Structure formats: structure tokens, C-alpha cells
Structure 1
Amino acid sequence: MKSVVVLGGYGNFGRRIVAALAHEADARVFVCGRDLRQATEAAEESGGSAEPRRLDAHAADFTAELRKLGTTIVIHTAGPFQGQSYTVPRACIAAGAHYIDLADGRDYVCGIKTLDEEAKRSETLVVSGASSLPALSSAVVDALRTQFSSIESIDHGITSGARPPGRATMDGVLAYAGKPFKQWRDNEWHPVHGWQDLMRRRYPDPVSGRWIASCDVPDLDLFPERYRPVRTVQFRAGVGPATSMFGLWLASWLVRAGVISSLKSWVPALHRTATTFARFGSKCSAMHVTVRGVDLNGEPAVRNWFLLADQDHGPFIPCFPAIALARKLLRDEVSERGAMPCMGLLTVDDIISVGDGLDLRVVPG
């Protein structure tokens, strides 16, 4: 049997990944983390082949522990990834195990290529960003670009419902609020600031209009290279309640003005407040990808793609690419080796099919 180690297996994303993989044929799934009690609870909840293990990914014996478990794949869900080193993927390479993470940190995901030679020498696949970005976003653009002779701009974004993400995710996405980062626009790099540049985006019903703002994500570096000669790449995100968006926008100005250094200390209170009021807000979330350019007949063209989620099923989506890729590795359907961001390894159908049975709807346009 092949063994899958899920680091942070009792967290928001980890539990969903364990539940999806624990019933795969000929696979053992280890729910891992430093808290054995929580790991045991998550394993019992998931059933199937799920087994709890106390495992510290940053301990000196981590590589040896992976070998003891006969690990085939490690799925790293224990964020935030902003500021993390590559200790975990390097340990996986040393143990001869494939590595997948759900990282959304721009530097972390884009920098994973520095491990390419090490991964190839050990005949392992090391993949970062097996999540909504850049895995799903790039798969959508890959599908849409077959309708273009050249792409001029990519505008994409995500709006969530009222239900907040996990604490680690919130830590990551609020870390750059009010902080400057670079965005590719009109063939040049321009400075923008996190959670600013508010705009109103129209989505198909039942999501309708939502406020979204600029966010620092791996796609901003990866897409200008992958989709040359694209002139502009933009990404914005937001949450359902307009009051939350305007509050976050105002707070980002406090950081930008130097009144406070960051929103990091605010995260626990913000998470508690959002969790308390989530039941009164929207259960709908959405993702959009808009590609503009010149079509195959030489005419200006615009193509839209929307993914709509209801019944609070949106928070499942970031797990889909990791689950889809793990299943392919378990079935020996991936021959690629080396270290790379999660692009070109999965199709849109590979990813979305993981959500069969959930309240999801793809709307082309």
C-alpha cells in the first residue's frame, strides 16, 4: 500500500483532504501534526484508512519518521506559508517522497523551483500551490487560451461567503494588507498595496455584486511568464459582507500610513468576530477568470469563466487540486519529476470533479 502523510491533517484543509483520500484503494492516510488528540479525532471522523500520528515537521528526525512510515506522498497544509523555509519539502526529497502543498505565499510558491535539481535527483515530484491559485486559476487560463491567438490581459479573483477561512489562511492573506507589492500592468511592473484598489465585480446569481481588492498572490509573478506576451495580470479578492470589505480597506490604510505595522495582531479578534456573525451572512462564494485578447480569427475577444459555490461549499475548493494530484500520483498517472508551482499538471475537469456532490456550478461566458 502507498502511504500519504497529511501535515496539519486536523486543520480546516487537512481534514477535507484526509476525508477524500482515506477511502482510496490501496492507500494508507496518516493524519499528522504535533497534537495527537486532534489527529486521533480527525482520523476517527474520516474513517477509512485514516490513522493518527504525532509528527513534528520541523523536528530533526522528520525525514527518518517519513521513511519509517514508508511515505509515498506528503501533503503540507500547515500554513501560513509566508516566511516559511523549504525545510519540509527538502525533508521529503531526502525521504524519497513526493511533496504537495496548498501554499498561497507568492515568494514561497514561485521559489519552489530552486529545489528542482534536488527533486529530479531523488526522482520525486515537489509541487507548491496545489490550491485555487495557481493550480485552478492556471488550468482555467490554459483552457481559455486555446480560443486566442494572443492574450493581452488576465483579470481573475475570488469572493468568499461570510464564513471565514482558518486562522492560518487569515494570517497569510492579511499579512500584506496595506503593504506594497508589484503587479504586471501595461507591460511594466507597478506598485500596488494589499487590500486596496477596491472595485465592484458582478457575478452570476446568486452571488451578484461583490467588492474585491488587490491581493498579493503567486499568479502575479507566474502568469506574465507563462502567458507571454500578456500585458496585464490582475488579481483581486474579497469577502461577502460589504462592511467587512470596507473595514479591511480602511485598516489597510492604517498600515500604509504607518499608523500600525501590520494587521497580524488583529487576526484572532477578526477571526472570532467573523465566525460569530457568519451564520447571518451569505453562504455563496465565487471565482472569476476573464481573459482578453485576439481570437483565432484576428478579432478582439473576451472570455469569462465563473465558478459559483453555495451552501458554504466554497471553502472546500482550495483542497481540490491537492486531492486531484495526490490521486493521480497514487495511481501512477504522473510521470513529471522535479520542483515546480502547480501549473500544467491538472485540467479544470481534474480539479472540479473532486467536488462532485457539492453545490458547485461552472458558468462559461
Structure 2
Amino acid sequence: MSGERLSLLIIGGYGTFGGRLARLLGDEPRLRLLIAGRSLAKADDFLADLRSPKDGSEGLGSTNLGARLQAVAFDRDGDLIEQLTRLQPDLVIDASGPFQSFGEEPYKVVRACINLGIDYADLADSTGFVAAIGGLDAEAREQGIFALSGLSSLPALSFAALDVVAPQFARIESVAAGIAPSSHVKIGRNVVGAIASYAGKDVPRLRDGKATRGRGLIDTMRVTVAPPGAVPLRSRKFLLVDAPDLALLPARFAGLQSTFTGVGTEPLPLQSVLALFAQLVRWRLLPSLAPFSRLMQRASHAFARGEHRGGMFVQASGIDAAGKRLTAGWHLIAEGDDGPFIPAIAAEVLVRRLLAGERPAPGARAAAGELRLADFEAAFRRFSITTGMRRECEAEAQPLYRQILGITFDRLPPAVAAIHAGGARTASGRARIERGGGWLARVVARLIGFPKAGKDVPVTVRFAAEGDREIWTRTFGDKSFRSILMEGNGRDRHLLAEVFGPFRVLIALVPEGERLRLVVRGWRFLGIPLPLFLAPGGETYEEERDGRFHFHVEIGGPLTGLVVRYTGWLVVE
């Protein structure tokens, strides 16, 4: 360390990811942060913005800044030895990119750091760059410094998640990972340029245990990103991208049969256009999408539609210790503008570990497996980020709600958990029922069989299990109606599907404090998807009060108004 502070040079320090790294570390008084780039004026402007108080995590205000900040000019194509000697950093983090286009001397910054005995790390997402940095391992060891490449979502975070998932398996046969950015995120030019460089071109991957060639932005995998207990992202296709994991995974898991890394671009029309243009490259009607990267970036900004949420998944499949087939994975959802900080958090974790005296071993290598998932999840706490594990094992039958909620089921209040314990059971109690007065509300209520309005109405619910489904028969006074509940499949995975006659309502189960909230995420009529804004909904939740299960159910919509509201309590008999 230089004096009492660790001197950190961030190349590309005012760029998309370097700037976010600076914001993440700006509160650390033990740091001297050198914000570097070709333009000193841009570096100065960035620091002025960083120091100005703002609301939210994007602008860690002036009262939060403890690091000593300095804007510096740095040209990676200039005299690196002279620049680094003058700036005297203890650690260089390269956040510039795109690393795919570093030319004939891709490692000149790394070599300069090794020659001067300066530790190095980068946020590279280029498979070739990350996988081949090990060629400098002997030189780095001799100097006693570390050079870690790929401190980003893929592979640093993905391998940290795999290290937690892997012990559940006796043999892992396939691994897949994907990033689903919010459509509202302003994607940087370098990121778009990297994707454009391999769109429609061969991407090395494993399939059926053999090294083969996938098709960039053409090969697909459908996944629903759904941390247990969170509202899932909408199911989406992930398009194959060239990520370092594809080169690193075969060495990590002997006998691996299949690998996939993808990006789940939203909205769907934009994804379809990208896939179409990638096909044009594949058919050699276009040489490359690289010349269109600026247009692609503008299109991604213009198509900012839908929910402002993003996510990530890491999933493994194989055989567990009992010889059963198992699929297990780690899921993440980030709300609003918090998602774009995730690629920079690996570098933040590295720096904070250095400040705590935890130093990586000397040598040059990919950053896969260097960091712990617990370190990432501790850093996530300052953001609206939800994570969790999911597992699906053959012949491992579970009650419906436990199957959907996963490990979060164990956090439900006892009375709520007892209602959803599975198997045949009966619960009884009392309820208050309110009915909507509109003619369409009355038609819908009659069609489904909802009870009439009443106060202190006796209620009985009989639960019957049929395979992976549950049938609920609700009796209010002398009026009964029933629904069939199951976990959704395909596009509706990880959602509760409740069938009322010709209607199927798709519901997210979300534990929130002492309540279990039920959030409508879609609906169908005779299997035909209907607009979500017309879906039946309202404030619906379950909770425990005075040791008893209480329910609050509202069903209505913009066309019908209130159809029915019933509230009350139940006790399992």
C-alpha cells in the first residue's frame, strides 16, 4: 500500500463499469482512487458528478465519499511503464474493453504491471483474453504479484455460485448461465460491440460431451429466472453468447457434457431482430454485425419497454449422491437501476478483501473460483437484489407451495405453513364476503361460483392432492366452489397456476415479513393468453394473527371492478 491508503488505478474509470466501480468504492477511506482514461476532462467531469449529492445508489453523495479521488489521463497505447511509474498504483483494474479488440498485444497492460510489480485485475468478458492470461503465470509468480482476469458476472460470480451448487452432485453433466438485463438499462458501446463481434459466428461450447461450435445469438435456451420467494422475471429465451465460462468449465468439471452461456434480451421484438441479423451473418449475407454496433446500441435504448428488472441464473444438472437426476441452480433478480452494478461488484469484493488483508495467491489466471458467493451476497445488501437457490430432484415429491417457494417456505409463519403442508386435509373458520355490484362482476362471480355477500359466514376448505395438483373446495355457508392448483410449466415455471373453470390465473408467491403475498403475473382463457392489465387482481395475502391463519382475497379488474372480496380465518382440523 502507498502510505496509509491502497492506491487503485481504474482504467476506464469514468466508463460504464469503471464508473460504477468507483461509486462502489467511493466510501472507503483507505483508498486512493485514480480515475483514469484518455480524456482528463471526462475524468474531471466524472469526479465532479461523483462528489455531487444525489438520491439513490447511482450517485453516492459527497457525504459518503471517504476515498481520496484523483482524475488522471491514461493512454493504454502510450508509454505504459512511464505512466504507471509516475502514478505509482498498488493495484490496476482494467475496466475499459472491449477486450475482444485489443489487437496484436492484448496483454501489454498486464505485462507492464508484472514488470513493475503491480497487482492487476480486469473486468474482461472475452473468452480468449480470460482463458489465455495463464500464459503469464510464471512471470507473475516470479514477481510475487497476482493478475486476475474476468472479474465480472461471467466468470467470477457464476463460478462463485457453482462452488455452492456443486457439492449437491456426485456428477455434474451440464452447466448453463445467463444474464437478463432490464430493457431500461443503457447498455454501453463496448458491451454492444463485444456482442456484435461474434453474432452469427462460431462460439466454442460442449454438446453431448464433445467440443462443438454453437451459433452466437442464434442458439437458445428458455429459462425463468426466479429466486425462491421473489416475483419471477418473465420467462425468456437466452441467446448464446461467447463468455469465458465456456472455455473454463470443462477443466472445472470432469465428464461435463454440455455448456451454455446466454443473454436474455428484452423486449422480445428486439431479441428477434438481433437473432435475425445474426442469421444473416451465419448465411454470409453480412460479414459481421460489428459495423452496426452503434445502431444496435441505439435500438436497445429505444426499446426500453416493460418492467425495469433484470436477473441472472447459474444452473447445473447431473446425478446426486443417491444416483437420482438433479437440477440445481442459483438465481438473482435486481430491481430498477441496481442490476448494472453487478458486473463491477466482483472487483469491489476483491479490493475490500485486500483491505482486510486477504490477498490472492501470486500468479496470472482467470478469476473463476477466486471469490466466495457469500462475499457477493454481502455486497448485494446495499441494493434491491434478491438471490436464492432452487433444486429439482426426480422422485422428490413435495407439497405444492413448498415446491414453488423452495427454501423460503421454511420462513413462513407456522399457521400459514400448516395450511400448505400438502396432502388431504380440512380447515374451517369464519369469513366476511363482499361482492361487486357491476353487471359484469356479477356474471363472472356466477360463472366461477363465488358465494354471496355475508358477515361471519362459516367457511370450510377441503384440500385434496392428485399427483402434482391440489384441489381446493371452498364452502361458504351452503355455497361451494372449487379450483385446481398446480405449478406452472414452460413459460409459467415457478408460478402457482390456479384454474377456475375456463380461466387459469398465474400467481407469484412472495413472502413479505409475516405475510405471504399472492401477486398475479398472467392469466389465460381456454389457454389463450390475455393482457396482464386486464387480469383479475387486488390485494391478496395470507398471514398469521393470534396463532391462526388469516386470509385476505380480492378478485377484480379494470373491466369488472370488484368481483369478490373475502377475508377471515381458518384452523386446520
Q: Would you say the 8 A contact 1:22–1:28 is kept in 2?
A: no
Matched, 1:41 2:62: no
Residue 315 of structure 1 corresponds to 340
State how far apart, in whole Å, the 2-side matches of 1:24 and 1:312 are: 22
The one-letter amino acid paired with 1:97 is I
Candidates 93, 100, 108, aligned match of 2:129? 108
State how far apart, in whole Å, the 1-side matches of 2:115 and 2:81 are: 7
Cα displacement string for residues 222-279 of structure 1 (whole angstroms, at most 9, x for unaligned residues): 001111122211122121200011000000011011111111111112212322342x
Q: Would you say the 8 A contact 1:74–1:98 is kept in 2?
A: yes
Residue 130 of structure 1 corresponds to 151
Name which of structure 1's ranges 22-31 and 171-180 shifts more when overlaid on structure 2.
Answer: 22-31
Residue 177 of structure 1 corresponds to 199
Larger Rg: 2
Q: Would you say the 8 A contact 2:151–2:367 is kept in 1?
A: yes
Residue 191 of structure 1 corresponds to 213
What TM-score comes out, normalization by structure 2 length? 0.62
Candidates 275, 279, 285, aligned match of 1:259? 285
State how far apart, in whole Å, the 2-side matches of 1:281 and 1:76 are: 33
Residue 99 of structure 2 corresponds to 81
State how far apart, in whole Å, the 2-side matches of 1:222 and 1:79 are: 20
Note the C-alpha offset of 1:143: 0.8
Matched, 1:306 2:328: no
Note the C-alpha offset of 1:335: 4.1
Matched, 1:9 2:23: no
SS across alignment from 2:99: coil
Matched, 1:290 2:309: no
Higher strand share: 2
Name which of structure 1's ranges 250-259 and 161-170 shifts more when overlaid on structure 2.
Answer: 161-170
Candidates 27, 33, 45, aligned match of 1:23? 27
The one-letter amino acid paired with 1:35 is S
The one-letter amino acid paired with 1:214 is L
Q: 1:285 to 1:15 in 2, by over 3 A?
A: same
Matched, 1:218 2:225: no
Note the C-alpha offset of 1:23: 2.3
The one-letter amino acid paired with 2:35 is V
State how far apart, in whole Å, the 2-side matches of 1:273 and 1:299 are: 45
Question: 5+ unaligned residues in a row in structure 2: which ranges?
Answer: 52-64, 391-573
Residue 92 of structure 1 corresponds to 113
Candidates 213, 217, 224, aligned match of 1:202? 224
Q: 1:330 to 1:72 in 2, by over 3 A?
A: farther
CA-based RMSD of the aligned residues comes to: 1.5
State how far apart, in whole Å, the 1-side matches of 2:12 and 2:131 are: 22
Residue 59 of structure 1 corresponds to 78
Residue 476 of structure 2 corresponds to none
SS across alignment from 1:175: helix
Residue 263 of structure 2 corresponds to 237
Note the C-alpha offset of 1:305: 1.4
State how far apart, in whole Å, the 2-side matches of 1:331 and 1:90 are: 27
Higher helix share: 1
Note the C-alpha offset of 1:86: 0.4
Q: Would you say the 8 A contact 1:132–1:317 is kept in 2?
A: yes
Q: Would you say the 8 A contact 1:197–1:213 is kept in 2?
A: yes
Structure 1 residue ranges (4+ consecutive) displaced by more than 4 angstroms after TM superposition: none
Cα displacement string for residues 13-38 of structure 1 (whole angstroms, at most 9, x for unaligned residues): 11111122232232100000111111
Q: Would you say the 8 A contact 1:58–1:88 is kept in 2?
A: no
Note the C-alpha offset of 1:98: 0.9
Matches within 5 A, 1:144-155: 144-155=165-176
Note the C-alpha offset of 1:206: 3.9
Residue 389 of structure 2 corresponds to 364
The one-letter amino acid paired with 1:178 is G
Q: Would you say the 8 A contact 2:225–2:332 is kept in 1?
A: no
Question: 5+ unaligned residues in a row in structure 1: which ranges?
Answer: none
Note the C-alpha offset of 1:330: 3.1
SS across alignment from 1:318: helix
The one-letter amino acid paired with 2:7 is S
Note the C-alpha offset of 1:97: 1.2
Q: 1:95 to 1:210 in 2, by over 3 A?
A: same
SS across alignment from 1:56: coil
Matched, 1:329 2:354: yes
Equivalent residues, number: 363
Percent identical among aligned pairs is 33
Cα displacement string for residues 178-224 of structure 1 (whole angstroms, at most 9, x for unaligned residues): 00122111210122110012343222234121121111111111001
